[in-house]
Structure 1
Amino acid sequence: MSTLLQVSDPHFGAEWPAAVDALVALVTTLRPDLVVLSGDLTQRARRRQFDAARAFVDRLGPQALLAIPGNHDIPLFDPFARLWRPYARYRHAFGADLEPVFDAPTLLVQGVNTTRPARHTAGEISAAQIERVARRFELARPAQLRVAVVHQPIATAGPSKRHDRLHGAEAALRRWADAGVDLVLGGHTHRPEINAVAVAGSTRKVYAIQGGTAVSWRVRDGQPNSVNLIAYDHAGEGARRARVTRYEHDAAGGRFVAGEPRVLDLTPAHAAAPAPR
């Protein structure tokens, strides 16, 4: 079984130290194959905030890491840096690649940079990015879970939240469904949710999995700090499923506590599951 832990919107500079310690303990216990940071690693893209985010990652030990920037990881109050060197501090802490890839026997995870220095909070994905990501997933091996990681959400529930959606989301969903994408992980809203998106003309559903804020005080709608553990076990015959477990921070207990898992059916509509034995 392969596992990845989605850690979104930690906002170092606005973090709860107790939640940070509890999350380090959780990662030590779970030992996921991959930790995914889906943006907004910092509160205001300051050097000391990136240093804190990097120090947190270093505490996690040898787990593989895939990180992408969020809109808060671009300087807001320094116009020169925002326009001419928007990712300099991010790259110093987390490397030059803004769209990293994790390729393992049963996991293919592609990061996508949806931030734009010319936009304040809104995210965008270009036609070139959509196509580049699709071609990567078209080369996936049959046993791999195919996961794209964005910051701003590709799908959200309810009309009041649609303004948060990524510009270019519909085109991305259509093309990526055709390319075999299973899951799109996102953050930005600080509201954890899972949406099964039916894509017109496709036999596949794409699941949009939103993370809450992992360790910051910038929670929304009374939701506690949370992270998502995604487990995938591909037996090689017919049905494909992933299990998503949300871990919420229990401040009184000083730990992250597992909720009820949700099982996601990744099998295309035309593919029948094998008969019971």
Structure 2
Amino acid sequence: MEHFTLSQVLHVSDPHFGTERPLAMAALEQLCRTLKPDLLLVTGDITQRARREEFAAARAFFDRLAVPRLLLPGNHDIPLFDVLSRVLRPYGRYLEAFGPALEGEFEREDLLVVTLKTTRRYRHTQGEISASQIERAAARMAQARPGQLRLVAVHQPVAAVTPDDVDNLLRGRARAVQRWAEVGVDAVLGGHIHLPYVLPLRQRWPALSREVWAVQAGTALSHRLRGGINNSVNVIRTGVSDPAVVERWDLNDASGQFERVAVTPIGGDVAAQG
């Protein structure tokens, strides 16, 4: 068997710069220094109102973390009140801050991550995924090497745990998850609703050809908390003989640190785990 160092992905979502908490920022910097992740994955809503100063603050913060990063825009990263920019250059300020790409990928020996832009300028909060995006991700995942953990990242969730979030679900999710299961995708990562959870998607779609997991991150930095859950991030660790795992890390205000509060395996059969 080929020997390599197992990968760590720090999954961060919805920092909402413009509403960020200094305590959470300092704690996330400390977590990065401690874990030294191989990838910082940010699943959207980087800013609160898509203002240039918010993007500049986000860029400066991510630069300080000094970790390879992969970002995608959320609905808050499109101007809301600047109608002209929303129509003509909806992602202009995002691109000024983070470069020319709205989608991307990251690969190591044991990991393949693909990001897809699911926000649309003609939608306010809801997202959608097109047939071409589904197939583009499927074609790339079909090329993955044996043993690679295969992750697709979007902004809006593909599964909800509360009735209030049904309207926030990604449009086109059923077709996407079914297709990606066929090519071996392990998990679909998202944010948007500020609730962290990990769900096996065969509970929603029993006919899936293999188990696929929904991995949601809370808000990493914002004071816009929800559900009594403090700022929260995920750490995803690949596995070889053991399944990959998702670790949920919540901010402890008293200690000023992110602390691990849950670990969920995302490999193998759900029935075998329980």
TM-score above 0.5 = yes
> Residue in 1 aligned with 2:165?
161
Q: Which runs of 4+ in 1 moved over 4 A?
A: none
State how far apart, in whole Å, the 2-side matches of 1:76 and 1:266 are: 42
1:245 correspondence with 2:259: no
Aligned to 2:258: 256
In the alignment, which residue of structure 2 is the partner of 1:31?
A: 36
Contact 1:213 1:226 in 2 (8 A): yes
Partner of 1:15: 20
Which residue in 2 is equivalent to 1:65? 69
SS at match of 1:120: coil
2:109 corresponds to: 105
Deviation at residue 200 of structure 1 after TM alignment: 4.2
1:136-167 deviations in whole A, cap 9, x for unaligned?
10111011100000000011123332111000
The residue number in structure 1 matching 2:235 is 229
Q: Distance in 1 between matches of 2:231 and 2:53?
A: 22
**How many Å apart are 1:202 and its aligned residue?**
3.0
Partner secondary structure for residue 256 of structure 1: strand
**Offset of residue 111 of structure 1:** 0.4
Q: Which moved more, 1:259-268 or 1:165-174?
A: 259-268
Corresponding residue of 2:184: 180
Counterpart CA distance in 2 for 1:155 and 1:94 is 29
Mapped contact 1:242–1:266 kept (Cα < 8 A): no
Q: RMSD of aligned C-alpha atoms?
A: 1.6
Does the 8 Å contact 1:106/1:144 carry over to 2? yes
Q: Deviation per CA, 1:85-106: give whole Å up to 9, x if none.
A: 0111101111111111001111
Structure 1 distance, partners of 2:146, 2:208, is 18
Q: Which consecutive residues of structure 1, in runs of 5 or more, have no partner in the other structure?
A: 273-277
Task: Tell me how many residue pairs correspond in the alignment.
Answer: 266
Shift of 1:234: 1.7
CA distance in 1, matches of 2:262, 2:169: 27
- Measure, in 2, the Cα distance between the counterparts of 1:13 and 1:78: 17
Of all paired residues, the percent bearing the same amino acid is: 50
AA at the equivalent of 1:215: L
The DSSP-based 3-state class of the residue aligned with 1:260 is: strand
For the pair 1:48 / 2:53, whether they are aligned, the reply is yes
Look up the equivalent residue of 2:244 and give its one-letter code. Answer: A
Partner of 1:275: none
What is the CA–CA distance in structure 1 between the aligned matches of 2:140 and 2:146, rounded to whole Å? 13
C-alpha distance in 2 between matches for 1:160 and 1:9: 18
Instruction: Tell whether the 8 Å contact from 2:198 to 2:264 is kept in structure 1 after alignment.
Output: no
Given that 1:232 and 1:243 are in contact with CA atoms closer than 8 Å, whether structure 2 keeps it comes out as: yes
Please give the residue correspondences for 1:199-214 in structure 2 after superposition, counting only pairs within 5 Å.
Answer: 199-214=205-220
User: Kindly tell me: are residues 261 and 268 of structure 1, through their superposed partners in 2, closer, same or farther at Cα, counting changes over 3 Å?
Assistant: closer
Cα distance between partner residues in 2 of 1:268 and 1:22: 33
Distance change in 2, residues 1:268/1:261 (3 Å): closer
